[in-house]
Chain A
Amino acid sequence: MSLNNTLNLNLARKIINAMISFSMDNNMLPGSYAVTDSGGHVVALERRDSALPATVDLAIDKAWTASVMKLSAKVLDQVITRGEGWRLNVKYHGRMTLIHGAIPLIIQGEVVGGIGHSGESIEGDEKIAQAGFAGAYREEEFETNVEKGLEISRSIAESVINYVNSNKLKPVAITITDVNGWPLLIYRMDGTPYGFVEISRSRAWTSSAFKLNSHEVTKIVGEIIECPNGEDSNERFNTSQGGIYIGNIIGSLGVAGNSPEEDYKIATNSLKSLNI
């Protein structure tokens, strides 16, 4: 058996599991684990319960950097820019992240995506990202005993995926945030246009931020409001249907990929089947 050179959600989850398993075995600090496709768009992200909220976007940006530069941060930093890496950031508003722990995923000689970890020291981040790469080349699955929040998030995401597949709906992006609006999990089902990732995330944020389903927020704040998105600080306002407030251990679920009405239905029915 050999490895197929397409990056899909299953492979991204396997890579993340390999990273979590490695960091747990080595008593490393909990963090965020991200896998992006060759264009730098999120395929999967998981954050362990006690990991710092800010690690979410650092991990994503590291994976993004490795994807779009097709190089490891280590090489960009030490060989290509030789300490002048900050200059690259004039262009990308600080997104280019030349901190170790950002490596491209190479399959059959091609860069098919990026792996990013944030939450440990520089050496720790690098080791964990390497463990993710190596995990792609292991045939067996890694079993991880994750904390409650991430565990529930995973089962909600599974439930959404099953619901979408069994009802033959269009694939969706799923974001699950904590009560503070910070993602614990982002999955993009295979075939989902990447634009839906940010939509699912902003629906989940909006639900967490107002403790309401995303489309019900206009009832309390009015139809026309001044609330520009501030993605740089995780503030992202979206009042279309598809964000459900849960508010128990985890904050909200955001689903996007079909019409807003269908996305809302997917989210509510998936939660119902789990009795949440």
Chain B
Amino acid sequence: MLETINTDISIIGAGIAGSAIARELSKYDLSITVIEQKNDIGLEGTTTNHALVCQGADSLTFRPGTLHAELNIKSIPLWPKLAEELNFKFRRIGGLWLIRDNSDFKKFQKMYSRAFKSSLDPKSPLLIPEGSFIPLKFLNKKELKNEEPEISDEFFGALYDPNLATVNPPEVAKAYAENAKANGTEFLFNTKINNIKRVSGKFELYSDKYIIKTDIVINASGIEADKIAELAKARDFSYVPFKGTIVEFDDELGKMINHETLILPRGSPHMQLISPTYDGKLRAGIYLEMTFRSNKEIKDYAIKHAINVSKTLYPGLPFENHILKSFTGFMAMTNPDTGWHDFVIGIPEFVPNWVNVILGPAGVSASPMLGKKVVEILSKSGVRFEEKKNYQPSIRKGVIS
């Protein structure tokens, strides 16, 4: 006999998206249940990424007019406050976009000016408040060497973004979740949704143990979001799984590199970067391929790519001897034919009270804004939100009972 649970809002998926949205919704007078098929928070895409939080050059250069750009830029000023409220490590490392030649320089100049137009002009709708952002600057070869003594002599300089930060995304997800829990959100782990029915305006979510009866569903199930949406005929988006392979180097080598360092790929779809992490290690890569989501195999050529990139940037460092681990992860990429990726956060035309949340790259960085966007979208569709009087932004309670 299945146990019945009644709730106002169900969030499917307890990764960075589901947890962030749960926390935001826990500010309102609602009963919320987060449903996760694994036994803990953020075990998939939240864990398997480069652990960077876009804060400057990168997020400002996302295609203007996209949700991707909007949510990332609006999240920039929210991060430091969030780290303080939820007490997680937020480390500013800064980013160096290396210049090989005039062509790189021209491209970065264009990005630089786009950043100013999109978010630093006082008339811009996405204006970043003063004090949340240190302006970018160009470094010459000598200045670059000062920042990164081990960098290759091949580079003439860099575009320097002092804002870029790193966090431990699963720690952030857990912080969101524990705050949501302390404010009344329920969590169901080891609960996989197999079937969804709509009965007189309500959704019924079926797992092996429960029937969850709910008014609203937030589908934040990461790389599985398409399959979950199909159960309710609510898939009005498409994406392709992009597998990324990342190599992690130990903290001994981590001491030698201070900033995220990258070059723009030429004639190759693979990212070329190495970056310090929140805990002093390094992550490098990223070999990207479109493939089936079950194909989690780590390939030699993908590891070689990470090592080659690292050696191109820092030829004097013995990367081969300092590998800690390598891992693969998946991102949901929309518009894979053009590379014009964008987030999807929306209610399908024919399935009211259902919100799809598809992130893909820069999802962690946009997480502070996700819940606010979901509230905005649901409010527009007629859902009424009443603020809780006793919401506490900093308290935490363990989510696994």
Q: How far is the CB of A102 from chain B (nearest CB, A)?
A: 10
Residues of A within 8 A of B291 (CB): 2-3, 137
Per DSSP, are chain A's interface residues mostly helix, strand or loop, or mixed?
A: mixed
Task: Tell me the complex Cα distance, A109–B236, Å.
Answer: 26
Task: Name the interface size band of chain A.
Answer: 20 to 34
Number of interface residues of B (CB under 8 A): 27
Whether A72 touches B338, Cβ cut-off 8 Å, given contacts A25-B233, A25-B235, A134-B240, is yes
- Distance in angstroms between the alpha carbons of A108 and B292 in the assembled complex: 11
Whether B379 sits at the interface, judged by CB under 8 Å, is no
* 0/1 string, B7-25, CB within 8 A of A gives 1: 0000000000000000000
A2 with B349: CB separation less than 8 A: no
Set of chain B residues within 8 Å of A146, measured between Cβ atoms:
none
Which residues of A sit under 8 angstroms from B293, Cβ to Cβ? Answer: 137, 139
| B337 interfacial by beta-carbon distance below 8 Å | yes
Of the residues B234, B235, B292, B336, contact of A133 by C-beta under 8 Å:
B336
Do A104 and B239 touch across chains, with their CB atoms under 8 A apart?
A: no
In B232-253, the 8 Å CB interface with A consists of: 233-241
Selected from A22, A108, A133, A137, the residue in CB contact (under 8 A) with B241 is A137
Docked complex Cα distance between A149 and B238 (Å): 28
Which of chain A's residues have a CB closer than 8 A to the CB of B226?
134, 138
Query: Please, which residues of chain A bring their CB within 8 A of the CB of B338?
Result: 72, 74-75
**Contact of B289 with A by CB under 8 A:** yes
CA distance A156 to B349 in the complex (A): 36
In Å, the complex CA distance between A139 and B226 comes to 13
Contact between chains at A127 and B238 (CB < 8 Å) = yes
B335 at the interface (CB under 8 A from A): yes
Closest to A19 in B: B238
Contact pattern, A 1-20, Cβ under 8 Å of B = 1, otherwise 0: 11100000000000000000
**Which residue of A104, A131, A134 has the most chain B CB atoms within 10 A of its CB atom?**
A134
| A133-B334 Cα distance, complex, nearest whole Å | 10
A-B contact pairs, 11 of them (CB 8 A): A1-B295, A22-B238, A26-B233, A26-B350, A74-B338, A106-B336, A127-B237, A137-B292, A138-B226, A138-B292, A139-B292
Residues in chain B within 8 A of chain A (CB atoms): 226, 230, 233-241, 269, 289-295, 334-338, 348-350
